[in-house]
A and B are shown apart, each in its own frame.
Chain A
Amino acid sequence: MALKATEEQVLYANILNKGMLIGLVGLVVTFILYGTGILKPLIPLDQIQNYWVMSVHDYLGASGIHTGWAWLSHLGKGDMLNLLPIAFLSLLTIICYLAILPGLIRKKDTAYVVLAVLEVLVLVLAASGVLKSGGH
């Protein structure tokens, strides 16, 4: 199907494509390190079943795991390292938006510059870890 994609779309697509591949490979590789026990997890594999039946509030209390980006300080642990590619995949959209911003600015596409900046701010706010849920 021959269709017309804008310059920004192609740039966005190219970054997304590379990032997605890196993320998925990372997901599988770190999972192998975790699942095979090459890297010991923070929560032992034989105990994980006791945790995934709990609500996240109880899970955090029982495991002693902290919210936000605290997992970054435990990257030597298999389960925490496995969060790295998940976080990377979740950061991809921010990277893509930042990449198309210069093109939009060059074209003086003010409305979309504003929309793109606002989207980046929304996603950075979500990723920042400052928004905490009350728990249940």
Chain B
Amino acid sequence: MLQKKFTSVHLLISLFVLFSIALISTSALASPEAAAGTAEAVEQHAWWFWPLVLLILSFVLGIFAVLGGVGGGVLYVPIVSGFLPFHLDFVRGAGLIVALAGALAAGPGLLRKGMADLRLAIPMALIASACAIGGAMIGLALPTNVIQTLLGATILGIVVIMLLAKKSEFPEVPKPDALSQSLRIMGIYHEPTLGKDVNWQIHRTPVGLGLFVIIGVMAGMFGLGAGWANVPVLNLVMGAPIKISVATSKFLLSITDTSAAWIYINNGAVLPLMVVPSVVGIMLGSFIGVKVLAVTKPAVIRILVITVLSISGLKALLKGLGIG
């Protein structure tokens, strides 16, 4: 027991130290001149240097994402744009592909097990993906400092949501609403912790659809993915069980992020030299994260992730305001 506790703390400290070293060193290397866009400032490194840093950083972020129960994009965009020399436009493009690749990889398993529900996802996805197009276009049209400031504010808002939002394992849905009934959005899954099948249904579908308008716009605008918003809406607003909400949210990202990703691809904001190390790094990190998850305490990890998000959100906000 004591040994397990030590291993858990040891692992967390190692991860945090590794992460801090990575951030401090990359931040120091990515000088203000580089961040401001002066080409000469970054010519001192071989071309592979920053993609390699991106690979290592994404690997660490992949571990943190799994441990903290957040999507990769929400950590990736503020941290990479805040501390590395890449322009925010390309970071958001890469962030969307990272979130998309993660969702595509998780989707098949979640769908086959019946955890992600296609009937629940399809209406929400239509709204979110259509609005993500608008969000992406707005995001690429607005000045960088405005987007960076809004990104910082959004990340700090996500921190507040993470601190305040409660989860409901099996929300009470006394009566499904008319829209969800007509769309036959309901299901049944086996819950091993209860040892029985659980019937679920949803309510407040129109409200949920309305909230997915905002989620879609923000996903496209900031390239964040949107699991942080999908889950509370599906679970707390619409009353889907938490496991169905988490799985359906992950699957939803594969559709929402697809539409936004196309806007970034077609507008030239996707650089393979950033995308591939990021996708590979996040995926390898997620793989390790799943293993680390077994020996760590969720509450401690959550605090770490919230701390990291707070720092990166603040950094983005200050950078956007021209202070950081």
Contact = CB atoms under 8 A, between A and B. Distances in A.
B259 to A, nearest CB: 4
Interface in B252-283: 254-255, 258-263, 265-276, 279-280, 283
B208 interface: no
Interface residues of A, number: 72
Which of A56, A69, A125 has the most chain B CB atoms inside 10 A of its CB?
Answer: A56
Contacts of B255: 93, 119, 123
A123 B259 contact: yes
A105 B116 CA distance: 22
A129 B266 contact: yes
A133 B105 contact: no
B47 A13 contact: no
B192 A131 contact: no
B128 to A, nearest CB: 10
A119 B268 contact: no
B3 to A, nearest CB: 30
User: Which of the four size classes fits the interface of chain B?
Assistant: 35 or more
B7 interface: no
A34 B272 CA distance: 9
Contacts of B42: 49-50, 53
Contact of B142 (A45, A49, A136): A136
B114 A123 contact: no
Given A3-B114, A119-B126, A136-B142, A83 B265 contact: yes
A116 B129 CA distance: 12
Contacts of B261: 90
B294 interface: no
B119 A112 contact: yes
A10 B268 contact: no
Contacts of A14: 108
Interface in B117-168: 117-119, 122-123, 125-126, 129-130, 133, 136-137, 140-144
Given A53-B39, A55-B89, A111-B182, A5 B267 contact: no
B37 A53 contact: yes
Given A56-B90, A59-B268, A119-B255, A3 B189 contact: yes
A64 to B, nearest CB: 11
B115 A136 contact: no
**Which applies to chain B's interface (DSSP): helix, strand, loop or mixed?**
helix
Interface stretch (B96-104, B230-238, B309-317): B96-104
Contact of B111 (A13, A27, A49, A53): A13
B4 interface: no
Nearest to A45: B47
Contact of B129 (A1, A5, A119, A136): A119
A58 B255 CA distance: 29
Contacts of B93: 56
Given A2-B190, A3-B115, A123-B262, A136 B47 contact: no
Contacts of A35: 48, 273
Contact of B90 (A19, A52, A83): A52
B87 A53 contact: yes
Contacts of B137: 131, 133-134
B34 interface: yes
Given A49-B42, A56-B87, A93-B258, A67 B104 contact: no
A135 B130 contact: no
Interface of B: 34-35, 37-39, 42-43, 45, 47-48, 50, 85-87, 89-90, 93, 97, 100-101, 104-105, 107-109, 111-119, 122-123, 125-126, 129-130, 133, 136-137, 140-144, 182-183, 187-190, 192, 254-255, 258-263, 265-276, 279-280, 283
19 contacts: A3-B115, A4-B189, A5-B114, A6-B119, A8-B118, A9-B116, A31-B276, A53-B34, A53-B39, A55-B37, A56-B267, A56-B268, A83-B272, A112-B122, A126-B129, A126-B260, A131-B263, A133-B140, A133-B263
